[in-house]
A and B are shown apart, each in its own frame.
Chain A
Amino acid sequence: MGFKHKDIIGLQDLTREEIQLLLDTADNMKEINSRDIKKVPTLRGKTVVNVFYEASTRTRTSFEIAAKRLSADTINISASTSSVTKGETLSDTARNILAMKPDIIVMRHAASGAHHYLAQRVSCSVINAGDGAHEHPSQGLLDMLTMRQKFGTIEGLTVAIVGDITHSRVARSDIFGLTKMGAHVRLAGPPTMMPPGIERLGNVTVCRDMREAIEGVDVVMMLRIQLERQGKTLLPTLREYARYYGLNPQNLKLAKPGAMVMHPGPINRGVELSSYVADSDQSAILTQVENGVAVRMAMLYHVSGGELATE
């Protein structure tokens, strides 16, 4: 089957088969990344513009490497979030970028729905590299790819996602993707960070505390506490957060033996994860990063038609 979408805005919009296709393609792309010459001509002559309204090193670099390995020309634009208040609207920025005839715009934006808005206004493809607290589909896909590599399938896995669910676009993409692929998701976090109705997003259980959430799970996904977002009202102190919602060798024992520990990064060491856990054999954090390139190659490939040979 082919991939029929012009854009990838979120995993909520994709079918199980489409997610499967993206993961399968990413698996194929991984091979390219392990070659001596890590470059194929697949997207030669295509222009990919990375527009990042929010600071990001990891995701932007990953998308840039992905595009370059497929031989696309890449341009990075770092737009300040304050450009809206300075006068240029997102719509005008889009028009200006579009006038330069790109094939794909990869955007990160602080406003939930910004990609939805952009995609309706430009003829080129739009890939969401994170919009507000809405979706981060490439992260969701790389998380699923990492799980699939270890467990062979996502169907039937139980995954605990712990932390600030309210503000997490990673959590939403993971929930949409994982539940669509047949996993069961458990959520835990302070009630100040648990949005209403989240259990209705799919096969999701909200747990009373972290220990309940991670008991017997295959995967523990720890979310980053975004210090800049928590303000003064959501948490008393990071110390207490670490104590009740941090993953350490003791509570990790509640999960299945050898359970996989994941984190979208960057880590606040000693807060979400103790260093011991972060650096242990059970941690898949660096595999996630590695898989990020392959997943993004797959996304770029499929939105640009996917007809060209990958090898």
Chain B
Amino acid sequence: MNLLIKGGRVIDPSQGIDEVLDILVENGAIKELGKGLAAPAGAGVVDAAGLIVTPGLIDMHVHLRDPGLEYKEDIVTGTRAAAAGGFTSVACMPNTKPVNDNKAVTSYIVAKAKAEGLVNVFPVGSITQGSKGDALAEMGDLKEAGCVAVSDDGRPVTSSELMRRALEYAKGMGIMVISHAEDLSLVGEGVMNEGFVSTELGLKGIPWAAEDAATARDVYLAEFTNSPLHIAHVSTMGSLRIIRNAKARGVKVTCETAPHYFSLTDDAVRGYNTNAKMNPPLRTADDLAAVKEALKDGTIDAIATDHAPHHLDEKDVEFNVALNGIIGLETSLPLSLKLVEEGVLTLPALVEKMACNPAAILGIDRGTLRQGAVADITVIDPAAVWTVEAGALASKSKNSPFLGWEMKGAAAYTIVGGTVVHSRG
């Protein structure tokens, strides 16, 4: 089906475009950008007046829980949540059951996403077999089957030697390594950020040094091996300092943060709120400010949600036994748009971090509205005001610390390969 998106403010940093234009989509690809384009016979028309039109947003860090943990989420509900949040592509982490450490699992994910998913799903394979940290996974096979990166996300590769070899080997296979930077021996039995709030609540703390020390190790290994490295969910001032410094030296390191790290601090844990329990944990106001600064100066390349659905029974328990993680796909866009309102980012810079850069880091042919590109497009209504309600979320799980929050900004239309997969009714 053909589509004309009329009169929206088109922001495409990949081409340096920021102006009111029409976009004509034909056979699932971008046919033309211009003013006063006419709709061909039979084409659908999206009136984008007053709306923002961007390359389809990409969330490079989600957990779809499929296969094996479908009671939390599955490829259908997860991609529906993605579409509702304005994402046309997601990269899904390998900590499924079984772990995505072989091409059979990758192929299952790719096939199911193709058949039933609403948005593009790019699987991330594991770095090590079973994500156990003992032996390298078959990265060549994983890539061939469709993986766009490897990560043992959820846990670090504890052996420095193995991490070194992973970076070297992945480089040979042309696949990106994503590091979950955490020193587990420093984490111990910690369940939240170590600081004043953990002291007051009597909860075991996780020191920021647990993230910083591991980030430093992985950055130095990337430098030593001259391999590209992406650091997931950066949350501390110290890690950002290490990454900024490494980038200045020319180390091929990129990183992402998640909306909760620039929207919440560990204050959110008060009342033993398990929906504020995540890994890395919510940090302090100083860290939050550092995250914003790093978004502004480009140290942080991408905004990803770490969408981590959990069943109510896994969160409705004492804080120390609750599982880590929150959902994020449906709240990411408005929380990130707030950065624009606050003057942290310009709209084009935000689009870079939510579409162009994730595509570039993962090496996928998305994140652009260039002529001939796949017509993955997000149409954003920046003025839409709505309240986060559990019942209205498309995700199977409802573990969000933002329930009840009023949000500004929403995806008016999510278009994948020229097809509208979500429209705000």
Asked if B238 is an interface residue, CB under 8 A from chain A, the answer is: no
Chain B residues with Cβ under 8 A from A114's Cβ? 318
Q: Quick one: closest A residue to B317, CB to CB?
A: A89
> What 1/0 mask marks residues of chain A from 126 to 157 whose CB sits below 8 Å from any chain B CB?
00000111110000000000000000000000
Q: CB distance B317 to A113 under 8 Å?
A: no
Q: CB distance A116 to B272 under 8 Å?
A: yes
Q: CB distance A198 to B318 under 8 Å?
A: no
Q: CB distance B199 to A112 under 8 Å?
A: no
What separation, in Å, do the CA atoms of A90 and B271 have in the docked complex?
A: 17
Chain B residues with Cβ under 8 A from A109's Cβ? 318
Shortest distance in angstroms between B316's beta carbon and chain A's nearest beta carbon? 6
Shortest distance in angstroms between B12's beta carbon and chain A's nearest beta carbon? 46
What separation, in Å, do the CA atoms of A201 and B198 have in the docked complex?
A: 12
Chain A residues with Cβ under 8 A from B319's Cβ? 111-113, 117
Q: CB distance A112 to B201 under 8 Å?
A: yes
Asked if B194 is an interface residue, CB under 8 A from chain A, the answer is: yes
Asked if B202 is an interface residue, CB under 8 A from chain A, the answer is: yes
Asked if B320 is an interface residue, CB under 8 A from chain A, the answer is: yes
Partner of B320, one of A89, A112, A166, A198: A112
Q: CB distance B205 to A172 under 8 Å?
A: no
Asked if A169 is an interface residue, CB under 8 A from chain B, the answer is: yes
Shortest distance in angstroms between B221's beta carbon and chain A's nearest beta carbon? 26
What separation, in Å, do the CA atoms of A92 and B139 have in the docked complex?
A: 45
Partner of B201, one of A134, A166, A196: A134
Partner of B318, one of A90, A166, A169: A90
Q: CB distance A116 to B271 under 8 Å?
A: yes
Partner of A196, one of B195, B316, B317: B195
Shortest distance in angstroms between B9's beta carbon and chain A's nearest beta carbon? 46
What separation, in Å, do the CA atoms of A89 and B315 have in the docked complex?
A: 11
**Interface residue tally of chain B, by bracket?**
20 to 34
**Interface residue tally of chain A, by bracket?**
20 to 34
Q: CB distance B272 to A112 under 8 Å?
A: yes
Shortest distance in angstroms between A115's beta carbon and chain B's nearest beta carbon? 10
Shortest distance in angstroms between B223's beta carbon and chain A's nearest beta carbon? 31
In chain A, positions 78-109 with a C-beta closer than 8 Å to chain B are 84, 89-91, 109
In chain B, positions 216-263 with a C-beta closer than 8 Å to chain A are none
> What 1/0 mask marks residues of chain A from 260 to 276 whose CB sits below 8 Å from any chain B CB?
00000000000000000
Shortest distance in angstroms between B252's beta carbon and chain A's nearest beta carbon? 35
Q: Quick one: closest B residue to A198, CB to CB?
A: B199
What separation, in Å, do the CA atoms of A197 and B285 have in the docked complex?
A: 14
Asked if B71 is an interface residue, CB under 8 A from chain A, the answer is: no
Asked if B342 is an interface residue, CB under 8 A from chain A, the answer is: no
Q: Quick one: closest A residue to B269, CB to CB?
A: A113
Q: CB distance A195 to B205 under 8 Å?
A: yes
Chain A residues with Cβ under 8 A from B198's Cβ? 195-196
> What 1/0 mask marks residues of chain B from 314 to 349 whose CB sits below 8 Å from any chain A CB?
001111110000000000000000000000000000
What separation, in Å, do the CA atoms of A111 and B192 have in the docked complex?
A: 13
What separation, in Å, do the CA atoms of A87 and B203 have in the docked complex?
A: 23
In chain B, positions 54-92 with a C-beta closer than 8 Å to chain A are none
**Residues A113 and B199 in contact in the complex (CB < 8 Å), given A90-B318, A91-B316, A132-B320:** no
In chain A, positions 189-219 with a C-beta closer than 8 Å to chain B are 195-198, 200-201
Partner of B199, one of A84, A111, A169, A195: A195
Shortest distance in angstroms between A201's beta carbon and chain B's nearest beta carbon? 6
In chain B, positions 366-415 with a C-beta closer than 8 Å to chain A are none
Partner of A111, one of B200, B316, B318: B318
Partner of B203, one of A12, A84, A132, A198: A132
Chain A residues with Cβ under 8 A from B108's Cβ? none
Q: Quick one: closest A residue to B203, CB to CB?
A: A112
What separation, in Å, do the CA atoms of A110 and B303 have in the docked complex?
A: 37
**Could you say which of A109, A111, A114, A201 has the most chain B C-beta atoms within 10 Å of its C-beta?**
A111
What separation, in Å, do the CA atoms of A111 and B319 have in the docked complex?
A: 7
Chain A residues with Cβ under 8 A from B205's Cβ? 195-196
Chain A residues with Cβ under 8 A from B317's Cβ? 84, 89-91, 117
**Could you say which of A84, A90, A112, A201 has the most chain B C-beta atoms within 10 Å of its C-beta?**
A112
Chain B residues with Cβ under 8 A from A112's Cβ? 201-203, 272, 319-320
What separation, in Å, do the CA atoms of A111 and B203 have in the docked complex?
A: 8
16 CB contacts below 8 A, A to B, read: A84-B318, A89-B313, A89-B317, A91-B316, A91-B317, A111-B318, A113-B320, A117-B318, A134-B203, A135-B202, A172-B200, A172-B202, A195-B199, A196-B205, A198-B199, A201-B200
* B-to-A contact residues, CB < 8 Å: 194-205, 271-272, 313, 316-321
A90-B317, A117-B319, A172-B202 given; name 12 further pairs at CB < 8 Å. Answer: A12-B200, A84-B317, A84-B318, A84-B321, A111-B319, A111-B320, A113-B202, A113-B203, A113-B318, A132-B202, A134-B203, A195-B194
